[in-house]
Amino acid sequence: MKLYANEISSATSRVRIALAMKGVQVDIVNVGILGDGAENRQADYLGINPQGLVPALQTDDGELLTQSLAIVEYLDERFPLPPLLPKDGAGRAFSRSIALAIASEIHALVPPRVAAHLARIPGMGATGVVAWNRHWILEGLGAVEARLAARRTGPYVAGNTPTIADIFLFPQSINAERAGIELEQWPNIAEIMDRLRDIKAFAENAPAARR
Amino acid sequence: MKLYANEISSATSRVRIALAMKGVQVDIVNVGILGDGAENRQADYLGINPQGLVPALQTDDGELLTQSLAIVEYLDERFPLPPLLPKDGAGRAFSRSIALAIASEIHALVPPRVAAHLARIPGMGATGVVAWNRHWILEGLGAVEARLAARRTGPYVAGNTPTIADIFLFPQSINAERAGIELEQWPNIAEIMDRLRDIKAFAENAPAARR
């Protein structure tokens, strides 16, 4: 299989963590994303994926799978061990809901293509974009912390082993720290992140810092 | 089970369609969402769900499930018939990827709480918010159409029966039409929507028009 990836993309990081947890080897093809200064690497990729977003996983049958959560669920169904979701229905829903809260209520509002569109609003400027990103990261991780405080029972987000929720929490929290946001304001998130940093599959697949 | 819902919420519409397809009855509790003029109905709900977002499904065990896709996956696992995902791995990933593209690349950028935050940007105004919403709906549904054109084989998004992808496509497309966007520019979407409008579980659970 071939993973179209970008080193600064937190959505790519999610898929790389899942692959590492499963012990699945793939070919990594780094492609540019808007604003990372590598638009020339992007041009070839548009022939494969017209939307140009990463990650995308090409299977050995030639199917191109997009959207990080759909790819992670695919990997979990195809390579069942270790499982990336709890066994019970409510636990599965909880793990998925944290992943989705991070994907839809934080990451969706702050990727490079949204920042580029925002920057074109008169009066917004680079400072306005930074404030926008900060607003949604603070609000979104605050909401995640409230859900964790209400429901968490084990050492990770949803039990005794990392699940899809932890895979989504890790790169988003790393990016929050890089934006100068202290995770200590959220005790559950900070504690889980300390555990995840000690796991090789997570530590080795964090998103790279933006240049 | 009890569904905390709002009549104009397209995320609520997704869960209602899934419940109707499965033939599962739940108690519907309508709560206000930001900007619908019913903030008083919202106050009680914040005690149950501090983030205040809908939909949320309360199970008979008292678990509160959030995030529409997590709820729909929960329903599909608990009530297997009719299945809401294809059987093959690549088909499942495709159906989920379309649902996620709609959730993360369109809906996440245009809900009332994002519009309210945008409207506070100096010079943005109501016109700016309308243009913002229109931009993401056009770009996002255009990207969905490209994926459908490349991969679709059956009468619905991912095969011979409606799946999670159709459940997400339906309310988003209805809202696009209400914003004056013609679906005919996207032949695959327009054709699928014509089929979905004839299915009672979809037609009876569309989001209500904003007053």
Residue A211 lies in a domain: no
Closest CA of chain A from B109, distance in Å: 6
Q: State the residue for tokens 């702050």.
A: A110
The answer to whether residues B72 and B110 belong to one domain is no
Contact A59 B90 (CB under 8 A): yes
pLDDT single digits (tens) B67-126: 999 999 999 999 999 999 999 999 999 999 999 999 999 999 999 889 999 998 887 888
The answer to whether residues A96 and A199 belong to one domain is yes
Interacting residues of A62 by C-beta distance below 8 A, sequence separation 6+: none
Half-sphere exposure of B158 (CA within 13 A, CB side): 26
Helix (H, G, I), strand (E, B) or coil at A142: helix
The pLDDT score that the predictor gives to residue A160 is: 97
Out of A59, A74, A104, the one facing B108 most closely (by C-beta) is: A104
Domain tally, chain B: 2
Contact A65 B128 (CB under 8 A): no
Residue of A nearest to B55 (CA): A97
**Of A73, A3, A8, A18, residue with least CA distance to A201:** A18
Residue B133 lies in a domain: yes
Residue B210 lies in a domain: no
pLDDT at residue A35 tops 90: no
Residue B184 lies in a domain: yes
Q: State the residue for tokens 């499942």.
A: B92
Residue A209 lies in a domain: no
Closest CA of chain B from A135, distance in Å: 10
Residue B94 lies in a domain: yes
Domain containing B12 — which CATH number? 3.40.30.10
Contact A93 B143 (CB under 8 A): no
CA distance B108 to B114: 8
The domain of B13 spans: 2-78
The conformation of residue A71, written as its DSSP 8-state character, comes to H
ipTM: 0.96
Contact A50 B146 (CB under 8 A): yes
CA distance B182 to B179: 9
pLDDT single digits (tens) A44-69: 888 888 778 899 999 999 999 999 99
The answer to whether residues A162 and A104 belong to one domain is yes
Domain containing B108 — which CATH number? 1.20.1050.10
The answer to whether residues B69 and B97 belong to one domain is no
Band of the pLDDT at B37, cuts 50, 70, 90? low
The answer to whether residues B99 and B53 belong to one domain is no
Contact A89 B77 (CB under 8 A): yes
Q: Which of B78, B99, B121 is the last residue of a domain?
A: B78
Contact A104 B109 (CB under 8 A): no
Residue B84 lies in a domain: no
pLDDT single digits (tens) A117-128: 999 888 788 889
Helix (H, G, I), strand (E, B) or coil at A16: helix
Size of interface A-B (CB pairs under 8 A): 114
CB contacts of A121 in chain B (<8 Å) are 121, 123-124, 128
Residue B60 lies in a domain: yes
The answer to whether residues B103 and B198 belong to one domain is yes
Closest CA of chain B from A72, distance in Å: 9
CA distance A118 to A47: 27
Band of the pLDDT at B36, cuts 50, 70, 90? low
